[in-house]
Amino acid sequence: EPEVTQTPSHQVTQMGQEVILRCVPISNHLYFYWYRQILGQKVEFLVSFYNNEISEKSEIFDDQFSVERPDGSNFTLKIRSTKLEDSAMYFCASRRASYGTDTQYFGPGTRLTVL
């Protein structure tokens, strides 16, 4: 069964450093998302991406964040200068259509720890 994959599973970085989180969505999916979950809290939407551009972003997704689909398979989230409060689990998700019964499938997540 196809699945969304994410690397690395855990990333530790120093405050102020840049990190890139990588995702490989399911191959025939067209809509891609990043969410984050601070420990013990709910899952929060960061950004949606379709047709090689951002279609929607939340207020969390400020200028420190960027997304890219550099080739036909990878989907990346870059945090330019990490802060302590960026420590969270980051989930990538994809779906075939933006609405309807198509399920949004999540990757296993990347746990980011900022020291």
By the criterion CB under 8 A, which residues form the site for another protein?
31, 33, 35, 41-45, 48, 50, 55-56, 89, 91, 93, 95, 97-101, 103-109, 111
Report, in Å, the least distance between residue 26 CB and another protein: 12
The percent helix, strand, coil of the chain (3-state, each to 5) is 5, 50, 50
Please identify, using beta-carbon distances, which residue of 14 and 53 lies nearer to another protein. Answer: 53
Report, in Å, the least distance between residue 56 CB and another protein: 4
Instruction: For residue 99, report the phi and psi dihedrals to the nearest 5 degrees.
Output: -150, 160
